[in-house]
Structure 1
Amino acid sequence: MSVEILDGATIVHFLEDEEAFNSSVGNRFARLDTNNDGLLSYEEMLKELRSLRIFETHFGIDVDSDPNELARVYESLFIQFDHNLNGTIDLEEFKKETKQMMLAMADGMGFMPIQMVLEEDSILKKAVEIDSNKVAA
Protein backbone atom coordinates (compact mmCIF):
# COMPACT_ATOMS: atom_id res chain seq x y z
CA MET A 1 0.00 0.00 0.00
CA SER A 2 1.04 3.55 -0.58
CA VAL A 3 -0.44 6.98 -0.06
CA GLU A 4 -0.97 8.81 -3.34
CA ILE A 5 -2.43 12.13 -4.44
CA LEU A 6 -4.85 12.07 -7.35
CA ASP A 7 -7.83 13.84 -8.80
CA GLY A 8 -10.44 13.23 -11.46
CA ALA A 9 -8.02 14.24 -14.20
CA THR A 10 -5.61 11.49 -13.14
CA ILE A 11 -8.31 8.90 -13.77
CA VAL A 12 -9.53 10.49 -17.01
CA HIS A 13 -5.98 10.63 -18.43
CA PHE A 14 -5.54 6.95 -17.57
CA LEU A 15 -8.81 6.01 -19.28
CA GLU A 16 -7.75 7.95 -22.37
CA ASP A 17 -4.55 5.87 -22.55
CA GLU A 18 -6.26 2.82 -24.02
CA GLU A 19 -3.12 0.68 -24.01
CA ALA A 20 -2.42 1.27 -20.32
CA PHE A 21 -6.08 0.91 -19.33
CA ASN A 22 -6.62 -2.29 -21.32
CA SER A 23 -3.40 -3.79 -19.99
CA SER A 24 -4.24 -2.99 -16.36
CA VAL A 25 -7.81 -4.23 -16.61
CA GLY A 26 -6.70 -7.33 -18.50
CA ASN A 27 -4.16 -8.13 -15.79
CA ARG A 28 -6.75 -7.67 -13.04
CA PHE A 29 -9.24 -9.84 -14.93
CA ALA A 30 -6.62 -12.59 -15.37
CA ARG A 31 -5.87 -12.57 -11.62
CA LEU A 32 -9.57 -12.89 -10.82
CA ASP A 33 -10.14 -15.66 -13.38
CA THR A 34 -8.78 -18.39 -11.12
CA ASN A 35 -9.94 -21.29 -13.31
CA ASN A 36 -8.53 -19.62 -16.48
CA ASP A 37 -11.67 -20.11 -18.55
CA GLY A 38 -11.75 -16.50 -19.79
CA LEU A 39 -14.87 -15.74 -17.75
CA LEU A 40 -15.55 -14.56 -14.23
CA SER A 41 -18.11 -16.55 -12.33
CA TYR A 42 -20.03 -15.11 -9.42
CA GLU A 43 -17.75 -17.04 -7.04
CA GLU A 44 -14.59 -15.61 -8.62
CA MET A 45 -15.96 -12.07 -8.51
CA LEU A 46 -17.27 -12.57 -4.97
CA LYS A 47 -13.74 -13.30 -3.72
CA GLU A 48 -12.62 -9.92 -5.05
CA LEU A 49 -15.61 -8.05 -3.65
CA ARG A 50 -15.16 -9.63 -0.23
CA SER A 51 -11.43 -8.87 -0.19
CA LEU A 52 -12.18 -5.16 -0.69
CA ARG A 53 -14.22 -5.17 2.55
CA ILE A 54 -16.02 -2.00 1.47
CA PHE A 55 -19.23 -2.87 3.25
CA GLU A 56 -17.67 -4.48 6.31
CA THR A 57 -15.81 -1.38 7.46
CA HIS A 58 -16.63 2.23 8.14
CA PHE A 59 -13.63 4.55 7.87
CA GLY A 60 -11.38 1.53 8.41
CA ILE A 61 -13.18 0.23 11.50
CA ASP A 62 -14.95 -3.13 11.33
CA VAL A 63 -18.72 -2.92 11.61
CA ASP A 64 -21.39 -5.58 12.00
CA SER A 65 -22.87 -6.14 8.55
CA ASP A 66 -26.08 -8.01 7.83
CA PRO A 67 -25.00 -11.08 5.81
CA ASN A 68 -28.25 -11.02 3.82
CA GLU A 69 -27.75 -7.37 2.89
CA LEU A 70 -24.13 -8.06 1.89
CA ALA A 71 -25.28 -10.94 -0.32
CA ARG A 72 -27.82 -8.66 -2.06
CA VAL A 73 -25.22 -5.94 -2.62
CA TYR A 74 -22.66 -8.39 -4.02
CA GLU A 75 -25.24 -9.95 -6.32
CA SER A 76 -26.30 -6.49 -7.51
CA LEU A 77 -22.68 -5.56 -8.26
CA PHE A 78 -22.16 -8.79 -10.17
CA ILE A 79 -25.26 -8.13 -12.27
CA GLN A 80 -24.00 -4.62 -12.99
CA PHE A 81 -20.91 -6.18 -14.63
CA ASP A 82 -22.83 -9.02 -16.32
CA HIS A 83 -24.35 -6.90 -19.09
CA ASN A 84 -25.81 -9.82 -21.06
CA LEU A 85 -27.07 -11.50 -17.85
CA ASN A 86 -25.64 -14.91 -18.78
CA GLY A 87 -24.23 -15.56 -15.30
CA THR A 88 -20.60 -14.84 -16.19
CA ILE A 89 -18.51 -11.76 -16.93
CA ASP A 90 -16.23 -11.72 -19.95
CA LEU A 91 -13.27 -9.41 -20.40
CA GLU A 92 -15.20 -6.88 -22.50
CA GLU A 93 -17.98 -6.61 -19.91
CA PHE A 94 -15.35 -6.23 -17.20
CA LYS A 95 -13.54 -3.47 -19.12
CA LYS A 96 -16.72 -1.60 -19.92
CA GLU A 97 -18.05 -1.60 -16.36
CA THR A 98 -14.64 -0.83 -14.84
CA LYS A 99 -14.38 2.17 -17.16
CA GLN A 100 -17.87 3.36 -16.19
CA MET A 101 -17.08 3.05 -12.49
CA MET A 102 -13.79 4.89 -12.90
CA LEU A 103 -15.51 7.69 -14.85
CA ALA A 104 -18.08 8.00 -12.05
CA MET A 105 -15.24 8.11 -9.52
CA ALA A 106 -13.45 10.81 -11.53
CA ASP A 107 -16.66 12.81 -11.77
CA GLY A 108 -17.22 12.52 -8.03
CA MET A 109 -13.65 13.56 -7.22
CA GLY A 110 -13.61 16.54 -9.49
CA PHE A 111 -10.32 18.32 -9.96
CA MET A 112 -9.37 18.96 -6.36
CA PRO A 113 -6.46 16.69 -5.43
CA ILE A 114 -7.17 14.14 -2.71
CA GLN A 115 -4.94 11.78 -0.82
CA MET A 116 -5.78 8.05 -0.95
CA VAL A 117 -4.24 4.83 0.29
CA LEU A 118 -3.89 2.52 -2.73
CA GLU A 119 -2.98 -1.14 -3.08
CA GLU A 120 0.23 -1.60 -5.07
CA ASP A 121 -1.44 -3.70 -7.78
CA SER A 122 -4.64 -1.66 -8.04
CA ILE A 123 -5.89 -0.04 -11.20
CA LEU A 124 -5.95 3.36 -9.47
CA LYS A 125 -2.29 2.96 -8.49
CA LYS A 126 -1.48 2.29 -12.16
CA ALA A 127 -3.39 5.45 -13.11
CA VAL A 128 -1.30 7.50 -10.66
CA GLU A 129 1.94 5.97 -11.95
CA ILE A 130 1.11 6.72 -15.57
CA ASP A 131 0.04 10.27 -14.72
CA SER A 132 3.25 10.82 -12.74
CA ASN A 133 5.35 9.51 -15.62
CA LYS A 134 3.67 11.93 -18.05
CA VAL A 135 4.31 14.87 -15.72
CA ALA A 136 7.98 13.85 -15.28
CA ALA A 137 8.50 13.55 -19.05
Structure 2
Amino acid sequence: MSTSAVVLHALNNLTVTRFVEDATSFEKCSKECFGALDADGKGGLSREKLRAGFGKLLPGIGYVSQPKDEINVLHDAIFERFDADQNGVIDCHEFKSLLMETMLAVARGIGGSPVLVALEYGSLLRKAAEHEQARTAN
Protein backbone atom coordinates (compact mmCIF):
# COMPACT_ATOMS: atom_id res chain seq x y z
CA MET A 1 0.00 0.00 0.00
CA SER A 2 1.19 3.52 -0.77
CA THR A 3 2.63 5.87 1.84
CA SER A 4 0.58 8.79 0.50
CA ALA A 5 -1.53 10.70 3.00
CA VAL A 6 -4.85 9.09 2.03
CA VAL A 7 -5.76 6.02 -0.03
CA LEU A 8 -9.12 4.47 -0.84
CA HIS A 9 -9.53 0.85 0.15
CA ALA A 10 -12.48 -1.54 0.31
CA LEU A 11 -12.63 -3.34 3.62
CA ASN A 12 -15.08 -5.27 5.74
CA ASN A 13 -15.23 -6.66 9.25
CA LEU A 14 -12.89 -9.54 8.37
CA THR A 15 -10.16 -7.09 7.34
CA VAL A 16 -10.18 -5.66 10.85
CA THR A 17 -10.79 -8.83 12.88
CA ARG A 18 -8.07 -10.80 11.09
CA PHE A 19 -5.63 -7.99 11.87
CA VAL A 20 -6.60 -7.96 15.55
CA GLU A 21 -6.46 -11.78 15.74
CA ASP A 22 -2.92 -11.87 14.31
CA ALA A 23 -1.28 -11.56 17.73
CA THR A 24 2.20 -10.79 16.43
CA SER A 25 1.14 -8.08 13.98
CA PHE A 26 -1.35 -6.51 16.36
CA GLU A 27 1.14 -6.49 19.25
CA LYS A 28 3.71 -4.76 17.03
CA CYS A 29 1.15 -2.19 15.86
CA SER A 30 -0.07 -1.57 19.40
CA LYS A 31 3.48 -0.92 20.62
CA GLU A 32 4.19 1.43 17.69
CA CYS A 33 1.00 3.39 18.32
CA PHE A 34 1.66 3.54 22.05
CA GLY A 35 5.20 4.79 21.41
CA ALA A 36 3.93 7.49 19.08
CA LEU A 37 1.48 8.76 21.71
CA ASP A 38 3.96 8.41 24.58
CA ALA A 39 6.21 11.10 23.13
CA ASP A 40 8.16 11.65 26.37
CA GLY A 41 8.80 7.90 26.77
CA LYS A 42 7.55 7.72 30.35
CA GLY A 43 5.62 4.52 29.66
CA GLY A 44 2.12 5.82 30.24
CA LEU A 45 -0.59 7.81 28.53
CA SER A 46 -2.26 10.56 30.51
CA ARG A 47 -5.58 11.99 29.42
CA GLU A 48 -3.67 14.82 27.74
CA LYS A 49 -1.47 12.45 25.72
CA LEU A 50 -4.49 10.38 24.74
CA ARG A 51 -6.40 13.51 23.74
CA ALA A 52 -3.46 14.74 21.64
CA GLY A 53 -3.09 11.61 19.54
CA PHE A 54 -5.89 9.05 19.76
CA GLY A 55 -8.00 10.68 17.05
CA LYS A 56 -5.12 10.26 14.58
CA LEU A 57 -5.29 6.49 15.03
CA LEU A 58 -8.95 6.32 14.05
CA PRO A 59 -9.68 9.37 11.90
CA GLY A 60 -13.13 9.63 10.43
CA ILE A 61 -15.03 8.45 13.50
CA GLY A 62 -15.69 12.00 14.66
CA TYR A 63 -13.33 11.87 17.64
CA VAL A 64 -11.41 15.06 16.85
CA SER A 65 -14.47 17.09 15.89
CA GLN A 66 -16.34 16.42 19.14
CA PRO A 67 -16.76 19.24 21.67
CA LYS A 68 -14.13 19.22 24.42
CA ASP A 69 -16.73 18.31 27.07
CA GLU A 70 -17.75 15.20 25.11
CA ILE A 71 -14.10 14.22 24.59
CA ASN A 72 -13.52 14.59 28.35
CA VAL A 73 -16.49 12.30 29.06
CA LEU A 74 -15.07 9.79 26.56
CA HIS A 75 -11.65 9.92 28.23
CA ASP A 76 -13.22 9.42 31.64
CA ALA A 77 -14.97 6.32 30.28
CA ILE A 78 -11.74 5.07 28.67
CA PHE A 79 -9.80 5.47 31.90
CA GLU A 80 -12.55 3.89 33.97
CA ARG A 81 -12.68 0.89 31.62
CA PHE A 82 -9.00 0.41 30.69
CA ASP A 83 -6.86 1.87 33.50
CA ALA A 84 -6.88 -1.49 35.31
CA ASP A 85 -4.52 -0.43 38.10
CA GLN A 86 -6.30 2.95 38.49
CA ASN A 87 -3.01 4.89 38.48
CA GLY A 88 -4.25 7.65 36.17
CA VAL A 89 -2.28 6.53 33.09
CA ILE A 90 -2.86 3.94 30.40
CA ASP A 91 0.16 1.66 30.15
CA CYS A 92 1.19 -0.35 27.09
CA HIS A 93 -0.87 -3.44 28.03
CA GLU A 94 -3.94 -1.40 28.91
CA PHE A 95 -3.54 0.50 25.63
CA LYS A 96 -3.44 -2.75 23.67
CA SER A 97 -6.74 -3.76 25.29
CA LEU A 98 -8.19 -0.37 24.41
CA LEU A 99 -7.10 -0.71 20.77
CA MET A 100 -8.35 -4.28 20.53
CA GLU A 101 -11.78 -3.46 21.89
CA THR A 102 -12.04 -0.33 19.75
CA MET A 103 -11.00 -2.12 16.56
CA LEU A 104 -13.43 -4.98 17.14
CA ALA A 105 -16.22 -2.46 17.72
CA VAL A 106 -15.31 -0.76 14.45
CA ALA A 107 -15.35 -4.17 12.73
CA ARG A 108 -18.87 -4.84 14.03
CA GLY A 109 -19.93 -1.43 12.78
CA ILE A 110 -18.51 -2.05 9.31
CA GLY A 111 -20.22 -5.41 8.96
CA GLY A 112 -19.64 -8.08 6.34
CA SER A 113 -20.23 -6.09 3.18
CA PRO A 114 -17.20 -4.29 1.76
CA VAL A 115 -17.19 -0.54 2.22
CA LEU A 116 -14.92 1.93 0.46
CA VAL A 117 -13.00 3.94 3.05
CA ALA A 118 -10.46 6.76 2.80
CA LEU A 119 -7.57 5.57 4.94
CA GLU A 120 -5.05 8.02 6.33
CA TYR A 121 -1.39 7.07 6.61
CA GLY A 122 -0.67 5.68 10.05
CA SER A 123 -4.30 5.02 10.96
CA LEU A 124 -5.29 1.68 12.48
CA LEU A 125 -7.69 0.87 9.66
CA ARG A 126 -4.94 1.50 7.13
CA LYS A 127 -2.68 -0.84 9.08
CA ALA A 128 -5.46 -3.45 8.98
CA ALA A 129 -5.79 -3.00 5.21
CA GLU A 130 -2.02 -3.32 4.76
CA HIS A 131 -2.09 -6.48 6.88
CA GLU A 132 -4.83 -7.91 4.65
CA GLN A 133 -2.88 -7.07 1.50
CA ALA A 134 0.27 -8.73 2.86
CA ARG A 135 -1.73 -11.80 3.94
CA THR A 136 -3.40 -12.24 0.55
CA ALA A 137 -0.13 -11.66 -1.33
CA ASN A 138 1.42 -14.73 0.36
Structure 1: give runs of 5+ residues left out of the alignment: 58-64
Offset of residue 106 of structure 1: 1.3
Alignment of 1:122 onto 2:127: no
Aligned residues: 130
Q: Which one has a bigger Cα radius of gyration?
A: 1
What do residues 103-136 of structure 1 show as CA deviations (whole Å, max 9, x unaligned)? 1221222210011111111121111111112222
Aligned counterparts, 1:23-102, within 5 A: 23-49=28-54, 52=59, 54-55=62-63, 57=65, 66-102=67-103
What do residues 50-84 of structure 1 show as CA deviations (whole Å, max 9, x unaligned)? 65582564xxxxxxx65433432333334333233
Matches of 1:40 and 1:99, distance apart in 2: 16
Three-state SS of the structure 2 residue aligned to 1:117 is strand
Single out whichever of 107-116 and 90-99 deviates more from structure 2. Answer: 107-116
Q: Which has the higher strand share?
A: 1
Alpha carbons of structure 1 residues 80 and 19: separation in structure 2 relative to 1, 3 Å:
same
Matches of 1:100 and 1:123, distance apart in 2: 13
Matches of 1:116 and 1:86, distance apart in 2: 37
Alpha carbons of structure 1 residues 49 and 127: separation in structure 2 relative to 1, 3 Å:
closer
Alignment of 1:106 onto 2:107: yes
Identity fraction in percent: 30
Alpha carbons of structure 1 residues 72 and 35: separation in structure 2 relative to 1, 3 Å:
same
Give the CA RMSD over aligned residues: 2.1
Alpha carbons of structure 1 residues 99 and 49: separation in structure 2 relative to 1, 3 Å:
closer
Matches of 2:69 and 2:17, distance apart in 1: 35
Matches of 2:64 and 2:121, distance apart in 1: 21
Q: Under a length normalisation based on structure 2, what TM-score does the superposition of the two structures give?
A: 0.81
Matches of 1:49 and 1:13, distance apart in 2: 22
Q: Under a length normalisation based on structure 1, what TM-score does the superposition of the two structures give?
A: 0.82
Structure 2: give runs of 5+ residues left out of the alignment: 1-5
1:62 aligned partner = none
Single out whichever of 26-35 and 81-90 deviates more from structure 2. Answer: 81-90
Three-state SS of the structure 2 residue aligned to 1:40 is coil
Alpha carbons of structure 1 residues 49 and 8: separation in structure 2 relative to 1, 3 Å:
same
| Aligned 8 A contact 2:47 2:75 in 1 | no
User: Could you tell me which of 2, 10, 15 is aligned with 2:7?
Assistant: 2
